[in-house]
């Protein structure tokens, strides 16, 4: 069996395409390609951007003298899929079709699957998708609400969450499936998930307005006042939705979503900034407590990750609330390109089998 596999990771975002080339776990190229509003303006639909982004990826590899023929596998960020279990998927026609048509959500991340699949076909190499945003491993108890028409959904930073769990387990010389963990991904969005022996059995919903406020999202707000606001005539449906997912949280309170700027204001004695940040920290800690209960108070470690966890003010504030529950570990930043490569590598090295995407959701309701 081949000892060194070269993998191209592809992670498209709203205004950038991040790529990484890995020889096994060694990163030999990392690039974040920004896309201006003017560059994306000619494309009416997100799906129309596919060829544009693929051409840029090819150009960057050429600029670094990396032959596309040398790539052994292509691994793309996912999206647009039905709910599925966690793991590494070899992209098949059903997954490709769901991503290409953005079957369940319209987001640039869906392009990761389509670009990886088409490059794989072009160069006769396998293509993979690792822990897409659609991963759903919830317990039934975590799904039900008091309104039978509404179920709680698994909307988590699954790719980074799983990668952090695997890295932490490896650091201990243990298997991820042997541990109970609470992982807090702290970024523009915040997901706090309970990992029970390799499954994310519960979490807040980062899309639909659940959990702590974040730099750009409202988090949980009481239902009746929200309903009243919706019918007040003051805001449109689009504006209310924006509070939930893009312009709420710190952005709404402080008119910026830049954590370094906000924390600088705190250090300079801005009482309003301090109150809002401390409220966000308090809500993060409460969500950790909820996940501790979801794990039946049996937790190996609580891990803080994501961009915000680089900051000691936030880390130490959170620790004061939760340190008695379990050891608190800081693993700052995000490892999405690495996660895409390592998931593909595990399959190529025959350490695990690729999962088959069936197009059938893991949960269809009671």
Express each pLDDT in 53-80 by its tens digit.
999 999 999 999 999 999 999 999 999 9
Mean pLDDT, residues 24-41 taken together: 94
Q: What is the per-residue pLDDT across 313-364, written as a single tens digit (0 to 9) for each?
A: 999 999 999 999 999 999 999 999 999 999 999 999 999 999 999 999 999 9
Mean pLDDT, residues 262-289 taken together: 97
**Pair (85, 190) in one structural domain:** no
**Pair (91, 132) in one structural domain:** yes
**Pair (170, 291) in one structural domain:** yes
Q: Which pLDDT value is given to residue 113?
A: 98
Give which of 86, 81, 8 is closest to 355, Cα–Cα: 86
**Pair (196, 109) in one structural domain:** no
Instruction: Label residue 250 by pLDDT band (50, 70, 90).
Output: very high
Phi/psi of residue 269, nearest 5 degrees: 95, 15
276 inside domain: yes
**Pair (321, 341) in one structural domain:** no
**Pair (230, 278) in one structural domain:** yes
Domain containing residue 246: 159-333
Residues 6+ apart with CB under 8 A from 93: none
Q: What is the per-residue pLDDT across 298-317, written as a single tens digit (0 to 9) for each?
A: 999 999 999 999 999 999 99
148 inside domain: no
**Pair (107, 231) in one structural domain:** no
Query: Rounded to a whole number, what is the distance in angstroms from the first to the last CA of the chain?
Result: 46
Q: Which pLDDT value is given to residue 236?
A: 96
**Pair (191, 327) in one structural domain:** yes
Give which of 206, 224, 226 is closest to 216, Cα–Cα: 206
Give which of 283, 264, 284 is closest to 274, Cα–Cα: 264
Q: What is the per-residue pLDDT across 191-236, written as a single tens digit (0 to 9) for each?
A: 999 999 999 999 999 999 999 999 999 999 999 999 999 999 999 9
Give which of 73, 298, 57, 283 is closest to 184, Cα–Cα: 283
200 inside domain: yes
146 inside domain: no
Query: Contact 57/10 with Cβ under 8 angstroms?
Result: yes
**Pair (229, 168) in one structural domain:** yes
Percent of the chain with pLDDT over 90: 97
**Pair (178, 88) in one structural domain:** no
Helix (H, G, I), strand (E, B) or coil at 147: coil
How many Å apart are CA 248 and CA 241, to the nearest integer?
A: 9
**Pair (25, 47) in one structural domain:** yes
Q: Which pLDDT value is given to residue 108?
A: 93
Q: What is the number of structural domains in the chain?
A: 2
Residue 59 is part of a domain; what is its CATH number?
Answer: 3.30.420.40
Mean pLDDT of the chain: 96
pTM: 0.94
**Pair (216, 93) in one structural domain:** no
């Amino acid at each position: 069996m081949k000892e060194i596999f070269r993998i191209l990771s592809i992670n498209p975002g709203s205004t950038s395409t991040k790529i990484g080339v890995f020889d096994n776990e060694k990163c030999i190229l990392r690039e974040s390609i920004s896309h201006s509003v003017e560059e994306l303006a000619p494309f009416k639909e997100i799906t129309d951007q596919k060829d544009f982004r693929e051409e840029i990826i090819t150009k960057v590899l050429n600029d670094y003298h990396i032959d596309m023929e040398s790539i052994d596998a292509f691994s793309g960020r996912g999206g647009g899929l039905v709910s599925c279990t966690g793991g590494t998927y070899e992209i098949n026609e059903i997954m490709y079709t769901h991503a290409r048509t953005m079957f369940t959500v319209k987001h640039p991340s869906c392009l990761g699957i389509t670009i990886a699949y088409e490059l794989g076909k072009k160069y006769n190499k396998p293509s993979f998708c690792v822990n897409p945003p659609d991963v759903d491993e919830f317990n039934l108890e975590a799904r039900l609400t008091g309104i039978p028409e509404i179920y709680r959904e698994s909307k988590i930073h699954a790719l980074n969450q799983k990668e952090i769990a695997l890295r932490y387990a490896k650091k201990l010389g243990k298997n991820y499936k042997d541990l109970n963990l609470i992982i807090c991904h702290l970024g523009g969005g915040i997901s706090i998930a309970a990992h029970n022996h390799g499954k994310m059995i519960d979490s807040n919903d980062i899309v639909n307005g659940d959990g702590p406020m974040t730099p750009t999202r409202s988090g949980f707000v009481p239902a009746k006042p929200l309903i009243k606001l919706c019918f007040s005539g003051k805001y449109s449906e689009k504006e209310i939705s924006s509070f939930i997912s893009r312009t709420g949280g710190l952005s709404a309170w402080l008119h910026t979503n830049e954590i370094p700027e906000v924390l600088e204001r705190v250090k300079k004695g801005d009482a309003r900034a301090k109150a809002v940040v401390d409220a966000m920290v308090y809500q993060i800690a409460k969500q950790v407590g909820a996940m501790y209960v979801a794990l039946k108070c049996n937790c190996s470690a609580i891990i803080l990750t994501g961009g915000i966890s680089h900051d000691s003010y936030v880390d130490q504030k959170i620790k004061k609330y939760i340190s008695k529950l379990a050891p608190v570990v800081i693993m700052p930043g995000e490892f999405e390109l690495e996660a895409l490569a390592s998931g593909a590598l595990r399959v190529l090295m025959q350490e695990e089998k690729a999962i088959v995407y069936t197009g059938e959701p893991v949960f269809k309701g009671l």
